[in-house]
Structure 1
């Protein structure tokens, strides 16, 4: 039983690869510094996209061409670390590249001979078959000729996406001139890898690398690196956070503020890891407050990114914090719009310490005020005739002790148990 060549093509996938290197010859010590793989089907639909910078293990020269500097690849994975990601994306597919021979010269040794006699489709050669008289060979020339947008030349991602579009055009033009069986016979080289490893999805993109490089240039990052690597026994989280709150109020860290933070950490013998843990927790709580309405606006994201950079938190760690908070149990009870509308403008005052928790964490005064404000109510610091509800952790044992309590009795203010109040305004508590 013969396989239908058209059906075979429609069920097939293509790995469009583009790379940037330190030079033109791996035999003379040049290495990969960036790689991108776009997985597409016969119709040109994008199924998967992968890109990463690669640490070459040597200094980079000629960065003016590709814009990749030593600082950008400082934290990038090595080729051996991303080999499983490359192999898993090539396995079972046909490799496509512009100037395929150049790509293979770097890929085969980089993958430690895991793929021998690598073959595929070269869009440069395919273009010569389709339009032999054009005389065009460079990717940007062919993109201009076929009206393909190449928005950032000499970046692996942009080049691979442009190559994918070029391939889609060229294979359609080829099939107008030749039989589709010819294409299957001459171009469909399916890569088969024995014991192919599973992808690990390790990568660092250009934007992230630049952000990391910028963070590592900051004065705070430099001073934090001078802290002890041995964790201290006492962690003055509250004291450190108080200083941090004041320093970040204007979203600027002055030299004096940076020195004060590091001196405090040094006095308490905090390690860099302990300080960064406090920084991540500070940022996590900020993200949580912004996510109370389950939406991160552009303004909120700008503030989160700014605080993240000031606290030397890497972009990938920020993404994990946001993802963590997004996936936590929703704290807003659905279907309460009408009830909240009737409560809009009402004022509340909290008496004593709060005891309720959200996802295992006690609601502090900052979060309590934010929860109330998000739902259209107002928070009052003192009890007056204008207060509608006095919230207390133990309403059943409410007494006239304390100034706020006496005022509440005097003004006949509604005293409400904290848990009942949270339920009333649609906050799910433990």
Structure 2
């Protein structure tokens, strides 16, 4: 430290640790099941937050306290796998924890070989020093005493955040009673990690673990595991999607529907990976339809989450699919709201094959109908007196060949070229 420590203290950082475990004694085999580290500066501002469940390598006891079950940690990283993330986040900082000795008793075996010292600031001891009259020990009690809210009790992340706030208060109380030099000498110990590893950012949060556990309990997930790991020669995407459309029409997958889907997959020797990819394609199309107006409403998001869960797709994977679709070129041409209002209720019939593309993908009949319906127009299968527009690929090649074309001439239906029609209803297609 320099003679004037204030500028240096402004740069100093603290690593606030909190853990959840299978029990109270690492000497008797208890293990870590969750860890959270908040990095804060001298002013208490949060600079980084890391949290993850940890696979303990044994069955979990005491889950009634912290709510972490065996199913939740089944896919979580081991302590050895998260050591780089722990070491990189405590390196060059001062450790802070409530009952630091307890926390370090679980961490020492894994990290002490690479850390020069493993000491720091214990908020329990600091509390006894600045407010001995309170007689409080537990984190929840002390936080209540100082009016600090803990959003979720016995959650490493929530406890770490609460400890960070508590430390800021206790530090200020300490400095009111003792000199800054005393604080620097007695409490400010910087951890130095030898050959500090690079952060891997390997983690599994509680919410993700619960989602995975819920999906793994579904009937569809169980039967998907019956599928082969090797791929077949043909992939009947349309056939599978058609069955999926019928099954998901009511947003319920019955046991019979699940068996039908898996039977179809087995008949074509689809692997589990291929089926999941088809499920993602189904969800991607649904996202694309909902994004036609460039807005995802709350009801649309609810439906996407429901469909994703039914198809064994995790929320984080759904978010990635949504972000991917959002980054594509907008489908709707701006400034057509007034024109679309005048077209609302008009009827459209398509003749022949469609040729236009959106973002390099050809518009099929299914997408064409969705594009039209989203804009308030009606789709007709056949041409009648009630049809307002007959859409054709090229107007200059329009002839009386074909039943639809003859009916359009007979009923004086407006014949419009496909590309002009898309422009008219505000759909941006490729040049």
TM-score by length of 1: 0.92
Match of 2:365 in 1: 365
Residue 16 (str. 1) matches residue 2 (str. 2): no
Counterparts of 1:6-405 in structure 2, within 5 Å, are: 6-111=6-111, 113-405=113-405
Assess, with a 3 A threshold, how the Cα gap between structure 1 residues 14 and 326 changes in structure 2: closer, same or farther. Answer: farther
Gaps of 5+ in 2: none
Residues 382/21 of structure 1: CA separation in 2 closer, same or farther (3 Å cut): same
Cα 1:190–1:289 change in 2 (3 A) is: farther
- Output the CA distance in 2 between the equivalents of 1:291 and 1:166: 45
2:116 touches 2:191 (CA, 8 Å); kept in 1? no
Go from structure 1 to structure 2 and tell me whether the alpha carbon gap of 1:288 and 1:197 turns closer, same or farther (over 3 Å shift): farther
Distance 1:4 1:345, change over 3 A: farther
Aligned residue pairs: how many? 430
Q: Secondary structure at the residue paired with 2:23? A: coil
Distance 1:335 1:195, change over 3 A: farther
SS of the residue 1:92 aligns to = coil
For the structure 1 residues 259 and 389, does the alpha-carbon distance in structure 2 shift closer, same or farther, using more than 3 Å as the test?
same
Per the TM alignment, residue 24 of structure 1 is displaced from its structure 2 partner at its CA by: 2.3
CA deviation string 1:42-63 (max 9, x = no partner) = 3333332222111111111221
For the Cα contact (< 8 Å) 2:23–2:31, is it kept in 1? yes
Question: Partners of 2:239 and 2:285 in 1: how far apart?
Answer: 17
**Cα distance, 1:123–1:234 mapped onto 2, change above 3 Å:** same
Give the secondary-structure state (helix, strand or coil) at the position aligned to 1:85.
Answer: helix
CA–CA distance in 2 between the matches of 1:219 and 1:404? 46
Deviates further, 345-354 or 267-276: 345-354
Q: Aligned pair in 2 of structure 1 residues 347, 176: CA closer, same or farther (>3 Å)?
A: farther
Q: Is the 8 A contact 1:108 1:114 kept in 2?
A: no
Question: What is the DSSP-based 3-state SS (H/G/I as helix, E as strand, rest coil) of the residue aligned with 2:132?
Answer: coil
Pair 1:85–1:372, CA change in 2 (3 A): farther
Aligned to 2:220, the other structure's residue is in SS state helix
Residues 15-24 or 384-393, more deviating? 384-393
User: Which piece of structure 1 moves more, 231-240 or 357-366?
Assistant: 357-366
Q: Find the aligned partners of 1:330 and 1:130 in 2 and give their Cα distance.
A: 60
SS in 1 for 2:134: coil
Q: Residue deviations 1:260-310, cap 9 Å, x none?
A: 111111111211111111111111211222222222222112211111111
Q: 1:134 to 1:274 in 2, by over 3 A?
A: same
8 Å CA contact 1:6–1:180 kept in 2: the answer is: no
Q: Is the 8 A contact 1:37 1:160 kept in 2?
A: yes
The structure-2 alpha-carbon separation of the partners of 1:24 and 1:425, relative to structure 1 and needing over 3 Å to count, comes to same
In structure 2, what is the Cα distance between the partners aligned to 1:183 and 1:373?
69
Query: CA 1:182–1:391 in 2, change beyond 3 Å: closer, same or farther?
Result: farther
Tell me, yes or no, if the aligned pair for 1:35 and 1:53 is still in contact at 8 Å. Answer: yes
Report the secondary structure of 2:133's partner residue: coil
**1:23-71: per-residue Cα shift (whole Å, max 9, x none)?**
2233332221111122223333333222211111111122112111111
Distance 1:140 1:281, change over 3 A: same
Q: What is the TM-score normalised by the length of structure 2?
A: 0.92
**Mapped contact 1:108–1:116 kept (Cα < 8 A):** no
Distance in 2, Cα, partners of 1:396 & 1:119: 83
> Any conservation in 2 of the 1:9–1:184 contact (CA below 8 Å)?
no
Residues 41 and 179 (structure 1), Cα distance of their counterparts in 2 relative to 1, 3 Å cut: same
Contact 1:20 1:154 in 2 (8 A): yes
Distance in 2 between the 1:396 and 1:5 partners? 83
How many angstroms does 1:192 deviate by? 3.3
Gaps of 5+ in 1: none
Deviation at 1:72, TM superposition (A): 0.8
